[in-house]
Structures are given as structure tokens and as C-alpha cells.
Structure 1
Amino acid sequence: MPPPPGPRQPVPPNAWPRPGVPPYGQLPPPRPPRTTPPWWQREGVVSRLLAVAGVAVTLTGVVMLLVLAAQAGWFGPVPRVAAGAVFSAVLVAAGIRVSGRAGGRVGGIALAATGIAGGYLDVLAVTTLYGWLHPIPGLAVAFGIAAGGVALAMQWRSQPFAVLVVAGVAVLAPALTGDLALIAFLIALMAACLPVHRRFDWPLLQIARTLPAVLATLWAVADAVIDDPVGDRVPWILIGATVIALLGAVGVVDSVRRRPKDIVATVAFGLATVPLLSMPALFDRPAAAVVSGITAAALLGAAALTSAASLRIPLHTRATAAVAGALALLATCVSVTADDTLPIALLAVAVAFLAVGSQAKSLLAAVLGTAFGVLGTGLLCTLANIETLTTQRLAVDDLGFATAVAAVLAVAAAGLGFRCLRTVAPNRDTGADSVFGVIAALIALYATTVTTVSIGVATGAEDGFVAGHSAATILWMAGATAALFSGLRLLTRAPAAAKVALVAGLLVTAAALAKLFLFDLATLDGLVRVLAFLVVGVLLLLAGTRYARAFAEAAAERQEIAAERQE
């Protein structure tokens, strides 16, 4: 009889062989290679493809039953409509039944989605193709069918179900109707999908419910512009575009307050505003200005109001509303101005945005103000180009009080833009400060010249052109002196700000001297030229004296500090 086994001895940590580890020098056995089955053998791929194809083909058949049968005179209107309704109801019932069986989810979704979309198309045909229902009850019935489909999709927690219904209706509805009726039924479909986003993050449905109504409205706008821009349908298109924008706003608020990172909802909202932004194309200038102005006020007001932290609206949504409002405001400026006054409107808007950005430390307002400022300054430079400023005949013809006002606003926009940089981004790089300071100074120099020359020629005086250039040179040097004095005052307290001011002041000084000797000396004459040289010379003497004294004081202060440290 064998002796009973003794207790198991523990394995030392460095003993070989260790369980599951091959001995030293021996490689582990190779793992069997993973084989990826082809796409047509993967679980669910083929079934989903067949389901989508089945939905498309079946809905096409429903539309053929409603349209082609009517064109060919097959059956009668009542049998065609009744057959479509019964067929849709049977598909929905079959989908609900199949979905409860093992492996029947894909088939159930496809069948039910086809039935609901078919029922929606059947109501659309009854309302628009046959005219049996007034549009209001027809829209109500269609909305009820779509809402029922959305409720079923929410119950099944299936985004593909909802997307199939919306996409099926959107693709095939144009075969049954067009223009205003199509827009109305797509808006009803869009509204029926809104409750989904309170519970589920379904990004594909966000786009699918918005894009069809947007495209249909844009098509109607283009058709109205080409065909009959003053027809009776234009107010209805405007109403449709407004409703689409409102539904987009409601949808994005419902989504982003629960999911702040929902970028797709913001994109859908941006798409929903596009038809409303295109509406001024259908009206003459006064009416277009009213439409775009109201749109701008609503969108910019919404962006401003939703900036409150208690509303929990993320920045990307507020930025989308603000950009859309800025585009509408741009359309308003174009509608209410002429070519020579458009820079005034753009630069006035730029000044307003930049003032808000500087006061509220709003990067968004600063960016929008900069965009309007660039547009307005670019147009001003086109009207008052270098050739116009240096040629008296062209200046008399093209410049006036309008360009003078625009130039003053350009100077204000340049100054506010630089202030916004220092306010919105306090922890900025001083190199960037210097670059933006130089850009602002160049804009201010050019705009100052435009202002003085425009005022000079607008007065109608014989020497107004040369007097304007003389005043411009003096103002250049005065601005340079002010910048140098400001930089010298900040030399010890704020070295970074002092550097920016001194660099800008020295550059403007160089520009003023270059203008004085290269242009004014050859163009100006008489007392005007003498006055320009005298004033610029005195300012240079003052600036040089103050510059030397400031650096001497700074050196003395450093010596005193060093002596105190040695003691």
C-alpha cells in the first residue's frame, strides 16, 4: 500500500519550470492566427443591407402604386389609396410581430419602418395628389403617423428605425408633390422627431430630420428667384424657412443642455438657419433689409441671451447662432447702403462688436468685429486706393465726406481691435502684441490720410488736397509722439506694453519722415509745406528730448537700486 502523499511544497520564485512559462531559451508555442471572415459572412451585415434595400424597393413600389397607376388609369383612386393604407398597416403589424422573435430585430425594424413611411406617403398623396383632404388635416394626420413611428423607434431604442422612416419619406416625397406642400410635410416630419433628442443621442437622426426640409426650401427659393420672385408663394416660403429655423433652435437647445458636447446638434441648427438667411434674395432692397434685420436681431439676441451660465448652452452653439446672425447683419448692411456708404455700415458694425468684445471680454464678439472690420477696411481701401490718394484729380472725383466717415470708423476699429487683443487674451505673447500693434498702426495711418484728404477735397477749396496731405503728415507725427510718450511712461511699470508702444511709435515716426520727404516735399508747396516741416520738426525735438530723459532716469534708477543692494 503506497504511503499517503505529503503536503505540496511551494515552488521557489526563480525555479524552473514555472507554471505556464516555457523553460529558459525555449519560445512559447505560436498562437493560432486570427482569421477575419469576409464582410458577407459577418453577423448582421448582409441582413442590414438586405433590409435597407427592401425598404427602398418597397417604398418605391408604394409610390408607383400611387402615381404611376393614376397616370395609367389602373384601378380607381379609392382602391389605390386604400391598398396603400392597408399594405402599410400590414407591414407595421408584421414588423411588430417579427421583432419579438429571436433574430427578428432587423427584419422587424425594416418592416415597421417601411409601413410607417408608406402610410406617410399615402397621406401625402391623399392631400396633394388627389385633394381629398384639406392641407391642415392632412398635415395633422401625417404628423400623427410620423409621431407614432418615432414613439415606436424610441420604445425599441433604434436609431436606424427612425432614420429609415425619415429618409424614405424625404427621398420619395418629391415624386408625389413639390414646392410648398413638400416643404410643409417635411417640416411636419422634422417636428415629429424633436422629442427623440430629449432622451437619446441619435446624431444621424439630427441630420436626417433637418436636411430634407432645408434642401426643399432652398430649392423653392431658387425656383422663386428664377420664376416669380414676387409671387404669392414667397410669404409662405418665408414662413416655412422661419419654422425650420425655430425647430432647429428647439432641437439644439433640447440636445446641448443635456449633452454639451453634441456638435452634431449644433451643425443641424446651423443647417436649419440657411433657408432663412437666403430669404432676402426673394425681396427688393427695403423688404430684404427688414427680413435680414429681424433675422440678425433674433439670432444675435439669442446668442447674447444664452451666454448666461444658468442656461447651460455651450460655446459652439452660441457661436453658430452668432455667426448666422452676423451673416444676416451683413445682408442687412448690403441692402440698406450704396457702394460708397457700405464701408461705413460695415465699420460701424465692427466698432460695435469690438466694443462689446473689449467690455465683456468676449472672444466671439472680438472675432466677429474683426471680420467686419477687415471687410469694411478692404472696401475703404478699394474706394480710396493709393493712386486716388496721391492724384488730385482722382481724389476730387472719388473722395468725399462718406470716405472720411468710413476712415474715422476704421481708425476706431483698429484701436478697439488692439484693445480687444489685450483684454480678451491677457496672457498673450508680446511678439504677437507687437505684430498686431504694427498692423493697427498701419491701418490707422492709412485711414488718417484718407480722412484728412477726403475732408480737404470735400470742402471744395482749391488747395484742399495739399492741405489734407499736410494735415495727415502732422497727425502721423502727433500719433507717433503720443505713442512714444506713452511707452516711455510705462517703461518701468509695464515693460511689455512699453515695448509695443515704443515700437509702434518709432515705426510711425519713420513713416511720417518718409512721407514728408518722399511725397510732401514734391507735392506740397508754399505755406502748407513750411507748416508741415515746422510741426513735424518740433514734434521730433520733443520726442527726442523726452526719449533721452526717460532712459537717463531709468539708468539712474537702476544705479540707485544697485547701490542699495551693495549696502
Structure 2
Amino acid sequence: MGTDRTATGAADPYAGLAAELSLLGRRLDWLGAELMRLRAADGSGAPGAEGFPGAPVSPAPPVPLGTGEPAPAGRVALRRVTQGGGPRAPRSQLSGARVLAWTGGGVTLLGVVLLLALAASRGWFSPLGRVTGGAVLGVALIGLALRLHRRVDARVGALAVAGTGFATLYLAVAAATALYGFLAPAPALLVALVVAAGGIGLADRWRTQLLGAGVVVGAAALAPLLAWGWLLGALVLALQLAALPVVLRRGWATLALLAAAGPALYGAAVGGLADAAGRAPAVAVAIGALAAGLATALPAARVLAARPVGALVAVAPVPVLVTSAAWGGWNGAAVAAVAVVGLAGFAAVPGTPRGIRVVAVAAAALALFQATLVALDGSTATVVLLGQAIVATVLAAQLRARLPLVIGAAYGGIGVLIALGRDAPLDGLVHHSSSAYVGHGTLVVGAAVSALVLVFAVALLVAGARVGLVRPDAGAAGLWAPAGVVGLYGASSLVVTLALLASDDRTGFTAGHALVTVSWTAVALVLLARGVRRPALRIAGMVLVAAAVAKLVLFDLVALDGLARVAAFLGAGLVLLAAGTRYARLVAEADRTKD
């Protein structure tokens, strides 16, 4: 091997030197390119490797394997310096700088508001001078931000300056329209949309969500100091519309939520406080906020996570609901119905994720509930609520779906509470008094409401069993036991009310309660018969037997008299005897079958 190397070196004595010079040349080329890249990133305007400022520089060619040469000593250090354009400051220092910069932006915006609003009340400058000064300041801040952004070490401040500049322009447009009347509402909204789109578009270009959030928050937070009424709602709605394309392009969930917060908050405030003259435009703004929220959530459901999209859907109908409650009557119900239709249509769109669809359906159910209570009152509202609850539970049983069951249970629970206090009062079930139904509707309404309560309880139990929530075991007692109590209340109230309709005196009342006691005992017999192999039903039957006996001793013995008392005790006693005999035989048969 030594002979070969000697021979090769003698034949070509300069070959090794040429190879070393070639390798050194490649390294010098790479170092020159890295230096030009550093100068370009530092804002000096030096051309990059491609002849343009800031152009990307091709990486150095790798050192051939097997040369035995290590990487240059300064290569790793140079990479650390050039990545990001310079040495990175500690995270705590960057956070402090960011807080200072954005705090300065907020203070500057307050100064702009004082210039535009306070100067008007003090007579400082002319109106045109105030608006022009604000606009010039906004443009100057944007220009300064563009210049600062060329330097990597100044980009934290550039974001705050740019956000302040665009928010200043937005507030200047609001003041020119609301305070001084320089612009009509329609062109003003168009200009505001262009300004907002410019700021959020710059955030898209710089790929920073913080700038977009700064533009939206800075403009929306201070806009109420310059504008009010429907114009305020329309101005913040323009911010949401301007943010939509960038939200979809970048998938910025925070920006989407911040942009939707303004229309929801201000639309609700404007709708709730609007007088008769401003109610129509307030309704238009509220419906616009609903449409914008759903229009944002529909495509966002395909690029964002479910939680932020669900939040968008949840806040979208808030202005409509607040405006509906403030308006009241059938007009308010019609406004709430718009939310019902919009949310239901959104939930019906194919491909909508299940979690977002659940939020939309729940919001639609809330809007329907409000429309019912706003349009109707008295016993009519109770009947309609219980009817809606029955429809929802039947739908849950047919579809084997839990969401309509939950909605039906919520509607029915509220309807039962209203019935207990007004339409089928508990006082009228316990005491025979003509005053029990005074101011609470008639006996006919009481009978109808009681029947609906009974039907609702039965439908709730059936639907719960169909969806797998109600089972004949002790583990599900927390679900079927309350429904059973509601059913007993409805049945008892129905029997007593019908008896009073037949004879509106003491005789009808006592006869009704005697029938109630006997019916409780009969139902207990059915439960015991069905509960031979189902412990939960057996326990429920025993509890109902105990309740029937307690009613006999504690209520019927005192409240009833004459033949009604005798009928209650005899009827209940005979049913209990039959129940005991029948139950004993069923238990014996079950034991023989088991053996």
C-alpha cells in the first residue's frame, strides 16, 4: 500500500493540493452567501444569493464524506446567529417588550378617542381637523410599522404600531360618520370594511394572529365611545366579515372568537336598549350578527376545532334573543323564530360535526322556548310547553336519540313547575277550596294540563327506555323515579279535577281522592307483578304501596268523610289483599322455574 501511494504521488504531485484548493473555494462561496444573507436580514438592502434583497440563500454544499475534514469551527455559531436574522432575546424579555408595546398602543388609541370625542365637546380644532388628524396619525403609524418590520429585532414593536394605526383609522371613520356626519352610513361601512380588511390582511401577510387580534380588539373596544345604536353594531359586524377570509385561510380560532364577540355583545346591548324608533334597525343588526356568525361557523367547522366553532354558534343568536325579549309580543316571537330557523338550518347542513350540531340544536331549542313564552302567556303557554315536551320525547323515542330527550325533559320540567303553581295547583289537589283555581284558570284547563303532565311522564319513561337511559334496575332509579312521581302527580290531579267537574263540591273532592288511593294501589299491584324478576320495579311497587297506605292513614282518614272514606279503605284493602295473594303465587312460580 505504501508503494502505491508513493507511485501515485510521483505521477501527479499537485493532485492533492488541487483538491484542497477546490474544497476551500466551496467553503468560501458558502461563507460569502451566508454573510450576504445576514446583511439582507439586517435590513441593509444587500442582495441575496438570487440578486434580490432578502432572497433565500441556498445552503452550502455538503462536505464530501470521507474527506476527514471537520465542519468549520464558526459554522454552528453562525447558524445560531443567522436563524431568525439575529440572536434571540430571552422569552421573558420578549414578553415584557410585547406588553409594553401593546400597552402603548392602547394608550395611544385612548388619546385618539379623546382627540375625536372630547375635542368636540371642548371646541378644540375644527371637526374636519380632528378627523384629518386622526387619519394622518393612523397612516403615519402604519407606515412606521412597515419600516420597523424590516428589522427582525423591531418586529415586536412593529406589530403593536401597525395594530394601533389600523385601529386609529377605523375609529376615525366611526367619528366621521357618527359624530360629524362627513360620511353617510353606507359608504362609511364600506370604508370601515376596507380598513379592517387591510389590517387583518397585513396580519395574514406577516403570518401573525396577534396583529389581527390587535386590530379587532382596538377598534371594537373603543368604538362605543364614538358611535351607538345600529351603526355601532354594523361597524363591529364589518370587523367580523373582514376577518372571515383570513380565519379560514390560517385557521386562527382566537381571531374568529374575538371578531364574533363584538357583534354578539354590542348587538345584544343595542337591541335590548333600543326605543321604538330604533327597534327596526336594531333587529336588522341582530339578524345580521346571527347570519354572520353562522356564515363564519359553517366553513370554519371544516378548518377549526369543534370547541371554537361551537362557541361561534352559541354566541351568534344572542343579539336576536335579547332583542326578541325586549320587544315582546308576537313581534318579539317572530324575531326569535328567525333564530330557530337559522340554527335549525345550520344543524341540518350535511357534514356538520356532531358536537357543533348539538350546540346548534340546543340553541334553536332555547330560541323556540323564548318565542313561546314571549308570544303566549297564562295557561296557553303551559299547554304549549307541555305539548312541545311531548313531541320532543316522542321524537327521541322514534329516533333513539338523546338530544331531543334532553330538550323534551327541559321543556316538560318547566311546564310541570308552572302547572304546580298555576294551572293545576298543588293546593287544589290537597284542599277543597273554590279559591284554589281562582286566578289559575278553570277546572277544564286544570284537567287538560294534568292530562298533559301524565302523558309527558309516560312518554319520558318510554323514550328513556328506548335510548337506554331508563332501565329496570336500581342504578337508573335517579332517572325513572322523578318521572314516576311526575306521572303520579298528573294522574292524581286529573282524577280529582274530573271528579270536581262532575260535582264541584265536597262530595266530588272526596270521591276523587278515594279513586286516587285505589288507583295508587292498583298501580302498585302492576309494578309488583312486573317486578318478580326485576328488583327495581318490585321496590317501586313496595314504595307505592307504602305511599298509598300513608295516604289512607294521614290524609284520607282526616280529609274524607262518610261513604268516600269507607270506599277508600275498602277499595285499597281489597286491592292489597289481591295484590298480596297474586304476588305470593308469582313468587312461588318464579322459584319453581329457577329450580
Query: Normalising by the residue count of structure 2, what TM-score does the alignment of the two structures yield?
Result: 0.77
1:61 matched to 2:111? The reply is yes
Cα distance between partner residues in 1 of 2:529 and 2:376? 40
Q: Secondary structure at 1:147's aligned position in 2?
A: helix
Which segment is superposed worse, 144-153 or 317-326?
317-326
Higher CA-based Rg: 2
Cα distance between partner residues in 2 of 1:103 and 1:367? 56
Shift of 1:386: 4.5
Cα distance between partner residues in 2 of 1:337 and 1:456? 29
Which segment is superposed worse, 286-295 or 145-154?
286-295
1:357 matched to 2:396? The reply is yes
Are the counterparts in 2 of residues 333 and 346 from structure 1 also a CA contact under 8 Å?
A: yes
CA shift digits 1:256-308 (9 cap, x unpaired) = 332343x23322332232211112233242322333344334434544x25xx
Q: What's the C-alpha RMSD, in Å, of the aligned pairs?
A: 2.7
1:366 matched to 2:411? The reply is no
Q: Secondary structure at 1:199's aligned position in 2?
A: helix
* Equivalent residue number for residue 330 of structure 2: 286
The one of 363, 366, 375 aligned to 1:324: 363
CA shift digits 1:174-204 (9 cap, x unpaired) = 2222222111111111211112321334343
Are the counterparts in 2 of residues 197 and 254 from structure 1 also a CA contact under 8 Å?
A: no
Are the counterparts in 2 of residues 396 and 457 from structure 1 also a CA contact under 8 Å?
A: no
1:198 matched to 2:243? The reply is no
Paired amino acid for 1:313: P
Are the counterparts in 2 of residues 260 and 314 from structure 1 also a CA contact under 8 Å?
A: no
Are the counterparts in 2 of residues 40 and 46 from structure 1 also a CA contact under 8 Å?
A: no
1:105 matched to 2:105? The reply is no
1:216 matched to 2:237? The reply is no
* Equivalent residue number for residue 241 of structure 1: 286
Shift of 1:158: 0.8
The one of 530, 545, 549 aligned to 2:581: 545
The one of 471, 474, 477 aligned to 2:521: 477
Task: Rate the CA distance shift 1:269–1:435 in 2: closer, same or farther, 3 A.
Answer: closer
Are the counterparts in 2 of residues 437 and 504 from structure 1 also a CA contact under 8 Å?
A: no
Shift of 1:213: 2.4
Cα distance between partner residues in 2 of 1:71 and 1:336? 44
Residues 19-98 of structure 1 mapped to structure 2, 5 A cutoff: 42-98=92-148
Paired amino acid for 2:389: A
* Equivalent residue number for residue 173 of structure 1: 223
Q: Secondary structure at 2:224's aligned position in 1?
A: helix
Task: Rate the CA distance shift 1:207–1:260 in 2: closer, same or farther, 3 A.
Answer: closer
The one of 365, 389, 392 aligned to 2:432: 392
Shift of 1:208: 2.0
CA shift digits 1:494-531 (9 cap, x unpaired) = xxxx2232222222222223323433344334554454
CA shift digits 1:395-425 (9 cap, x unpaired) = 4645612222222222222222233333333
Which segment is superposed worse, 425-434 or 369-378?
425-434
* Equivalent residue number for residue 495 of structure 1: none
Are the counterparts in 2 of residues 349 and 369 from structure 1 also a CA contact under 8 Å?
A: yes
Paired amino acid for 2:392: F
* Equivalent residue number for residue 7 of structure 1: none
Task: Rate the CA distance shift 1:382–1:437 in 2: closer, same or farther, 3 A.
Answer: same
Are the counterparts in 2 of residues 341 and 402 from structure 1 also a CA contact under 8 Å?
A: no
* Equivalent residue number for residue 451 of structure 2: 408
Cα distance between partner residues in 2 of 1:455 and 1:114? 72
Are the counterparts in 1 of residues 272 and 322 from structure 2 also a CA contact under 8 Å?
A: no
Are the counterparts in 2 of residues 350 and 413 from structure 1 also a CA contact under 8 Å?
A: yes
Q: Secondary structure at 1:43's aligned position in 2?
A: helix
Paired amino acid for 2:336: S
Q: Secondary structure at 2:183's aligned position in 1?
A: coil
Which segment is superposed worse, 205-214 or 167-176?
205-214
Cα distance between partner residues in 1 of 2:556 and 2:594? 43
* Equivalent residue number for residue 565 of structure 1: none
Task: Rate the CA distance shift 1:444–1:153 in 2: closer, same or farther, 3 A.
Answer: same
Give the paired residue count.
Answer: 502
Are the counterparts in 2 of residues 143 and 188 from structure 1 also a CA contact under 8 Å?
A: yes
Cα distance between partner residues in 2 of 1:270 and 1:402? 36
CA shift digits 1:337-374 (9 cap, x unpaired) = 43344432332222222222222222222222222222
Shift of 1:135: 0.8
Cα distance between partner residues in 2 of 1:479 and 1:159? 65
Paired amino acid for 1:474: V
Residues 415-494 of structure 1 mapped to structure 2, 5 A cutoff: 415-425=458-468, 430-462=473-505, 463-488=507-532, 491=533
Task: Rate the CA distance shift 1:56–1:403 in 2: closer, same or farther, 3 A.
Answer: same
> Structure 1: 5+ residue runs without aligned partners?
1-38, 492-497, 560-567
Are the counterparts in 2 of residues 302 and 321 from structure 1 also a CA contact under 8 Å?
A: yes
Task: Rate the CA distance shift 1:362–1:517 in 2: closer, same or farther, 3 A.
Answer: same
* Equivalent residue number for residue 304 of structure 2: 259
Cα distance between partner residues in 1 of 2:401 and 2:414? 20
Residues 260-275 of structure 1 mapped to structure 2, 5 A cutoff: 260-261=305-306, 263-275=307-319
Cα distance between partner residues in 2 of 1:368 and 1:557? 43
Cα distance between partner residues in 2 of 1:183 and 1:165? 17
Shift of 1:210: 2.1
* Equivalent residue number for residue 137 of structure 1: 187
Cα distance between partner residues in 2 of 1:116 and 1:557? 84
Which segment is superposed worse, 211-220 or 394-403?
394-403
Are the counterparts in 2 of residues 217 and 237 from structure 1 also a CA contact under 8 Å?
A: yes
Are the counterparts in 2 of residues 162 and 205 from structure 1 also a CA contact under 8 Å?
A: yes
Paired amino acid for 2:384: A
CA shift digits 1:464-497 (9 cap, x unpaired) = 2122212222322232233333334xx3xxxxxx
Shift of 1:41: 8.5
* Equivalent residue number for residue 148 of structure 1: 198
Shift of 1:460: 4.7
Cα distance between partner residues in 2 of 1:42 and 1:157? 22
Cα distance between partner residues in 1 of 2:209 and 2:437? 67
Are the counterparts in 1 of residues 112 and 168 from structure 2 also a CA contact under 8 Å?
A: yes
Cα distance between partner residues in 1 of 2:418 and 2:314? 28
Cα distance between partner residues in 2 of 1:382 and 1:184? 44
Cα distance between partner residues in 2 of 1:151 and 1:243? 23
Task: Rate the CA distance shift 1:516–1:297 in 2: closer, same or farther, 3 A.
Answer: farther
1:311 matched to 2:351? The reply is yes
Q: Secondary structure at 2:377's aligned position in 1?
A: coil
Cα distance between partner residues in 2 of 1:53 and 1:521? 77
Cα distance between partner residues in 2 of 1:402 and 1:474? 25
Cα distance between partner residues in 1 of 2:469 and 2:110? 61
> Structure 2: 5+ residue runs without aligned partners?
1-88
Shift of 1:121: 1.7
Q: Secondary structure at 1:131's aligned position in 2?
A: coil
Identity across aligned pairs (percent)?
33
Are the counterparts in 2 of residues 63 and 175 from structure 1 also a CA contact under 8 Å?
A: yes
Q: Secondary structure at 1:259's aligned position in 2?
A: coil
1:346 matched to 2:385? The reply is yes
Shift of 1:139: 0.5
Q: Secondary structure at 2:152's aligned position in 1?
A: coil
Task: Rate the CA distance shift 1:246–1:146 in 2: closer, same or farther, 3 A.
Answer: same
Cα distance between partner residues in 2 of 1:325 and 1:350? 14
Are the counterparts in 1 of residues 557 and 565 from structure 2 also a CA contact under 8 Å?
A: yes
